């Protein structure tokens, strides 16, 4: 076990608490492995009837993964990055297929890797402080951890909008989209957890007893324009549609998209197009692992992490610099499958 994870039992409730507040609980490989070990142990333990995942302290649930490490690895041989993705995606898949009730509290910042451990859970609780996003295109990556599965299944091109823009959603919007299925105000969380510990087999009732009043979601008023402007799987068409829209909203989103990696945006659109037809979440994780192993070694990922997270100059120099310069062949190369012996497998897989 690592001190970055607190693993405990409260009665018959297994509890996993992220405990890396200085990094807003960003995930490391060791944290993912510790969580998986606990879940695998509790899966066969009759004394554990449900599992709760939250964070111990600080201003967010989970800000993502350790992307600085990933970029450093990508700048060399990429092996440390692959090891991280293998552990993280195994955890995502384990939660997606877990036979016992899983509960997650998405209080505060819930981004990237935090989304990956939230969306597979059966009970997903948002609060008034939830700030949910998949901001990967800003650093030359793509919405992984199952993003190709989850986002592609949203209605009206909302998944494409979220993937490309990195839009930050509040708790009410998460509830509206189905990312969350419960809304509890932060002040009630401690009492709710106490109730869950007493009645883990009746999680829905325990959570529902503390349901808060849900404010209106701002996203609803833009559904039609999102469906219209993000209708295409071709990035250049989306930019053209936003230009033609001639509204303040469209201008804001156009500025946002022009700040992102053009290569990452095209990769993300293709990921969602393929993810919509994926037969299983296991297949999704296998495809995303191969893609991630390739993308972390691109100049854009190393540059994006440098500009936004290391030097914090916020001036990434993307290569290629424009969508028109990103060819289909460039994208095809990144989606090339790994050799069979290097492919990702879930726990209990054949390799």
Tell me how far apart the alpha carbons of residues 209 and 203 are, in angstroms, rounded to a whole number: 10
Tell me how far apart the alpha carbons of residues 129 and 110 are, in angstroms, rounded to a whole number: 10
Evaluate whether residue 347 is within a structural domain: no
Domain total for the chain?
Answer: 1
The CA–CA distances, whole Å, from 349 to 94, 137, 338 equal 12, 31, 16
Evaluate whether residue 108 is within a structural domain: yes
* pLDDT confidence of residue 58: 79
Helix, coil or strand: residue 285:
helix
Counted residue by residue, the chain has a size of 351
* Residues belonging to the active site: 65, 113, 136, 144
Contacts 24+ apart (CB under 8 A), 299-304: 299/140, 300/140, 300/261, 300/263, 300/264, 301/70, 301/71, 301/74, 301/139, 301/140, 301/141, 302/71, 302/74, 302/75, 302/140, 303/140, 304/138, 304/139, 304/140, 304/141, 304/261, 304/264
* pLDDT confidence of residue 12: 96
* pLDDT confidence of residue 2: 56
* pLDDT confidence of residue 1: 45
* Per-residue confidence in pLDDT tens, the chain, 351 aa: 459 999 999 999 999 999 999 999 999 999 999 999 999 999 999 999 999 999 998 789 999 999 999 999 989 999 999 999 999 999 999 999 999 999 999 999 999 999 999 999 999 999 999 999 999 999 999 999 999 999 999 999 999 999 999 999 999 999 999 999 999 999 999 999 999 999 999 999 999 999 999 998 788 889 999 999 999 999 999 999 999 999 999 999 999 999 999 999 999 999 999 999 999 999 999 999 999 999 999 999 999 999 999 999 999 999 999 999 999 999 999 999 999 999 999 998 755
Q: Is-contact 243 255, C-beta < 8 A?
A: no
Tell me how far apart the alpha carbons of residues 309 and 303 are, in angstroms, rounded to a whole number: 10
Evaluate whether residue 351 is within a structural domain: no
Evaluate whether residue 350 is within a structural domain: no
40: left (phi over 0), alpha (psi -120 to 50) or beta: alpha
Evaluate whether residue 335 is within a structural domain: yes
- Cβ-based neighbours of 167, under 8 Å, separated by 6 or more: 133, 161
CATH number at residue 142: 3.90.226.10
How many CB atoms within 10 Å of residue 118? Answer: 28
> Could you tell me the residue range of the domain that residue 290 belongs to?
5-342
Evaluate whether residue 349 is within a structural domain: no
Radius of gyration of the chain (CA): 20
pTM, two decimals, is 0.96
Evaluate whether residue 348 is within a structural domain: no
């Amino acid at each position: 076990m690592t001190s970055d994870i607190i693993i405990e039992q409260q009665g018959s409730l297994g509890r996993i608490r992220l405990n890396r507040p200085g990094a807003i609980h960003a995930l490391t490989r060791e944290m993912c492995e510790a969580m998986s070990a606990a879940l695998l142990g509790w899966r066969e333990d009759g004394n554990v009837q449900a599992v709760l995942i939250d964070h111990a302290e600080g201003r967010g649930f989970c800000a993502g993964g350790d992307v600085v490490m990933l970029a450093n690895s990508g700048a060399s041989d990429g092996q440390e990055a692959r090891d991280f993705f293998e552990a993280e995606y195994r955890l995502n898949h384990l939660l997606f297929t877990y036979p016992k009730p899983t509960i997650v509290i998405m209080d505060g910042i819930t981004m990237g890797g935090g989304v990956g451990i939230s969306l597979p859970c059966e009970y997903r609780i948002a609060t008034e402080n939830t700030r949910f996003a998949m901001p990967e295109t800003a650093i030359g990556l793509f919405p992984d951890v199952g993003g190709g599965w989850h986002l592609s299944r949203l209605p009206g091109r909302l998944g494409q909008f979220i993937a490309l823009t990195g839009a930050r959603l509040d708790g009410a919007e998460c509830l509206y989209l189905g990312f969350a299925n419960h809304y509890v105000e932060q002040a009630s969380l401690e009492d709710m957890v106490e109730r869950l510990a007493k009645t883990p087999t009746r999680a829905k009732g325990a959570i529902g007893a503390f349901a808060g009043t849900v404010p209106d979601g701002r996203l609803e008023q833009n559904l039609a324009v999102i469906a219209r402007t993000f209708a295409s799987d071709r990035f250049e068409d989306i930019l053209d549609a936003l230009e033609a829209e001639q509204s303040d909203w469209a201008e804001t989103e156009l500025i946002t998209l022009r700040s992102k990696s053009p290569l990452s945006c095209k990769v993300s659109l293709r990921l969602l197009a393929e993810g919509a037809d994926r037969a299983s979440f296991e297949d999704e994780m296998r495809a995303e692992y191969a893609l991630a192993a390739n993308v972390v070694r691109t100049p854009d990922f190393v540059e994006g992490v440098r500009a936004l997270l290391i030097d914090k100059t916020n001036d990434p120099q993307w290569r290629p610099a424009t969508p028109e310069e990103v060819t289909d062949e460039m994208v095809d190369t990144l989606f090339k499958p790994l050799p069979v012996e290097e492919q990702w497998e879930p726990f209990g897989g054949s390799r």
